[in-house]
Structure 1
Amino acid sequence: MTAVDFVPFVERLAKVSGEAIMPFFRAAFAMEDKSGGGVFDPVTEADRAAEAAMRRLIGEAFPHHGVIGEEFGADRQDSEYVWVLDPIDGTKSFIAGLPLWGTLIGLLHKGAPCYGLMHQPFTREKFFGDGKAAHWAGRGANGETASRRLLARPCSGLDRATLMTTSPKLIPEPLRPRYDALEAKTRLARYGGDCYAYCMLAAGHVDLVVEAGLNAYDIVALIPIVRGAGGIVTTWDGGDPSKGGAIVAAGDKRVHEQALEALNAGL
Structure 2
Amino acid sequence: MQDFWTQVLEFAQTTAKNIGSQLIADFGKLQPTRKEDGTLVTQADKWADKEIRDAIATVFPDHGVLTEETEHIFPANDWCWIVDPIDGTTNFTRGIPIWGISLGLLYRGTPVFGFVHLPQLNQSFYGYWYGESGLTGPTGAYMNGEPIHTSPDNPSKNHLFSICARSTDVLKRPFPCKIRTIGVASYNLLLVASGAALGGVEATPKIWDIAAAWVIVQAAGGVFVSLAAQPIFPLKVGHNYGDRSFPCLAVSRAELVSVFKPLVEFLGKKV
The normalised TM-score by structure 1 is 0.82
Shift of 1:150: 0.6
Aligned to 2:9: 7
Q: Distance in 2 between matches of 1:189 and 1:124?
A: 24
1:203 aligns with 2:194: yes
Which segments of 5 or more consecutive residues in structure 1 lack a partner in the other structure?
A: 138-146
Which segments of 5 or more consecutive residues in structure 2 lack a partner in the other structure?
A: 130-138, 236-244
Q: Is the 8 A contact 1:83 1:107 kept in 2?
A: yes
**Corresponding residue SS for 2:26:** coil
**Corresponding residue SS for 1:105:** strand
Aligned to 1:140: none
Q: Is the 8 A contact 1:66 1:74 kept in 2?
A: no
Aligned to 1:187: 177
Q: Is the 8 A contact 1:21 1:49 kept in 2?
A: no
The normalised TM-score by structure 2 is 0.81
* Amino acid paired to 2:262: E
Shift of 1:76: 6.0
Any residues of structure 2 matched to 1:1-267 within 5 Å, and which?
1=1, 3-26=5-28, 28-35=29-36, 40-74=38-72, 77-131=75-129, 132-137=139-144, 147-157=145-155, 161-167=159-165, 170-171=166-167, 179-180=170-171, 184-194=174-184, 195-236=186-227, 240-242=231-233, 245-264=246-265
Q: Is the 8 A contact 2:189 2:201 kept in 1?
A: no
**Corresponding residue SS for 1:114:** strand
For the structure 1 residues 262 and 52, does the alpha-carbon distance in structure 2 shift closer, same or farther, using more than 3 Å as the test? same
For the structure 1 residues 76 and 196, does the alpha-carbon distance in structure 2 shift closer, same or farther, using more than 3 Å as the test? closer
**Corresponding residue SS for 2:200:** strand
Q: Distance in 2 between matches of 1:248 and 1:216?
A: 14
**Corresponding residue SS for 2:83:** strand
Structure 1 residues 195-204 or 84-93, which shifts more?
A: 195-204
Shift of 1:4: 4.5
1:93-127 residue CA offsets vs partner (Å, 9 max, x unmatched): 11111111111011001111111111012222101
Q: Distance in 2 between matches of 1:264 and 1:94?
A: 30
Q: Distance in 1 between matches of 2:189 and 2:87?
A: 12
Cα-Cα RMSD: 2.4
Identity of matched residues, %: 25
Shift of 1:237: 5.0
Q: Distance in 2 between matches of 1:112 and 1:193?
A: 25
